[in-house]
A and B are shown apart, each in its own frame.
Chain A
Amino acid sequence: FTTGNPKWKRKNLTYRITNYTPKMRKTDVDEAVQKALSVWSNVTPLTFQKSEDKEADIVISFAYRDHHDNSPFDGPNGQLAHAFQPGEGIGGDVHLDEEEAWTKDGRGYNLFIVLAHELGHSLGLSHSNDPGALMYPTYSYTPPNEFLLPQDDIDGIQAIYGQSTTAVQPTGPVTPQACDPNLTFDAITTLRGEIIFFKGRYMLRKHPERAETELNFISLFWPQLPSGIQAAYENVERDEVLLFKEDKYWVVRGYDIAPGYPKQIYRLGFPKTIKRVNAAYSDESTGKTYFFIADRYWRYDENKKSMDHGYPRKIVSDFGKIGRVDAAFQKDGYVYFFHGTTQFQFDPRAKRIVRKQKSISWFNC
C-alpha cells in the first residue's frame, strides 16, 4: 500500500487519454487502456468511464524527458513510466515515457502490461516484492491474451476497495515457492546440466553448483512459448530440448527456439486420438524416448525417428505403481517420475522403484 493509504472515495472513476504515441495505432492504444483498466475493475467494485472533457480522475499521457512533474524520464529503457497516487489534480495520472518502443505484442514494451501496472499505483497500490505480481517493479512480458491478474495483486487492491460485486470472486495465479511442500510440476527437463522445472508461466531453474533455485518467467527466455508447458525432455546427443503443450511441440536448440516450430506431435508417430503429452524423458544410453499419456506410455527411437512397435503399453506393467505421470526426467542413470507432490526414483536396470521422495527434494529446502 502507498503510505497514508490514499484511495479514491468514489467507485465510479473517469479517465482521459491526452495524447497518443505515434508508435501504435490509436485504436490499439485505446484497446490497451481499456484492457488495463478492466484488469482492476474485474476484481473490485470500481468502474472506469472515458471522459471527453478536461477533467478526469486518471489522465493518461505520453511524455518526454522533463515534463514538469519533478520526475523526468530517462530516454529508452530504464524507467518506462510512472503514476501518481489517488488525489486531486495530478493524483491518479499516468505518464508513459514516449521514448520507449511501445507495442501491443512481445516486442519492445507491451503497453497494456505497463499501463496495468501504473494503474495499480493510480488506485493506491505500491510495489510488491512478489516476483510474479503485476506490481513487481521490473517489466516482464506476458502475452496479453494469457494475462491473469496474480493473487498478490488481487489481495492488495481488494484490501483497499473491497471485493468484486460478481457472484463468483475472481482468483489469480500464485507465484510458486520452491520450498512449498504442496508444489507440483507441469513438466521437468534437464538442460545442459541444469534441471528446469516448469510450473504455469514460470520455470524454476536448478544449477547443480548453486544452492539456490532461480525463478523466472518462461517468457523471459522464450517469449514465443506459451505458459503451461505439459511435457519436456532433453536429447543430450543433439543438444536439444523438446517442449510439449497440447498437440504441439517446440525444439530448443542450445538456448534458442529452433525455427519452424511448433510442429504437430503426430509427426512423432502419435495417433490422432492423442491430444496432449503428460510427461517425457529420454534415455541417452539407448536413444529411446518415453512419452507418458494417461495410464500408458509410448517409446520413440531417436535414431530411427519413429515410434517403436508394440506400444502403447501400460505404465504400471513396466514402471510399477507410480500412477499418472505429471513430469519425468533422467539424471545419472535414474529416472525421476513426479506424480502430484510425490517423486519416484526408478532404476531402469533393476526395473524397479528404489526411492520415494517429496517433489521439492531438489531445492535444498
Chain B
Amino acid sequence: YPVVPEAEDEEKTLKLVESYLQNFYDLQMDHQPHIRSRSENHLAAKLKEMQAFFGLEVTGKPDPETLEMMKKPRCGIPDVQNYV
C-alpha cells in the first residue's frame, strides 16, 4: 500500500478524535486560532473523560487503544449525561 504521509495521518486522526468527542462527549469547538491552547486542554480533558468511561488507560492522548475504540461501530446517543 502507498504509505500515508505522517502529517496527513495526523490530520485524519485529529479529525476522528474531534468529531467523536463532539458527537458523544459534548466537546465544544472554538475555531478562533488565538485560543488554540485552551481548546487543546479542553480536548485532552474530554479525551480523558472518554477513556475513563471505556475503562481505557487515561492518558488524554489519542493512543492506539483509544483510536481503536473510537472506530468501533456504536450507538449515536452521546455517553455524557447532559444529552436531552
A residues near B, CB below 8 A?
2-4, 71, 73, 77-83, 85, 97, 109, 114, 117-118, 121, 126-127, 129, 131, 137-139
Given A79-B23, A131-B55, decide whether A139 and B81 contact each other with a Cβ distance below 8 A. Answer: no
B48-84 Cβ-contact flags toward A at 8 Å (1 or 0): 0000011100000000000001001111111101111
A129 to B73, CA, bound (A): 16
Given A3-B82, A3-B83, A129-B53: A138 and B77 interface contact (C-beta under 8 Å): no
Alpha-carbon distance between A40 and B74 when the two chains are bound, in angstroms: 20
If A129-B53, A137-B24 touch, whether A109 touches B76 (CB-CB below 8 Å) is no
A121 CA / B84 CA spacing, docked (Å): 11
Interface size counted on chain B using CB atoms at 8 A? 18
Q: Of all chain B residues, which has the CB nearest A83?
A: B77
Chain B at the A interface: SS class: loop
Asked if B75 and A82 make an inter-chain contact with CB atoms under 8 angstroms apart, the answer reads yes
B81 A80 Cβ-Cβ under 8 A: no
C-alpha gap A118/B75 in the complex (Å): 8
Asked if B84 and A85 sit within 8 Å, CB to CB, the answer is yes
B75 contacts which of A4, A85, A137 (Cβ < 8 Å)? A137
B54 touches A117 (CB 8 A): no
A121 — which chain B residues lie within 8 A by C-beta? 75, 77
- Measured CB to CB, the closest approach of chain A to B38, in angstroms, equals 26
The docked-state distance in angstroms from the alpha carbon of A80 to that of B75 is 6
Q: Contact: A137 with B84, CB < 8 Å?
A: no
Closest to B84 in A: A3
Instruction: Check A127 against B75 for contact (C-beta < 8 Å).
Output: yes
The 10 closest A-B pairs by CB, nearest first: A82-B76, A79-B76, A138-B72, A138-B74, A139-B73, A3-B81, A127-B79, A137-B74, A77-B73, A129-B53
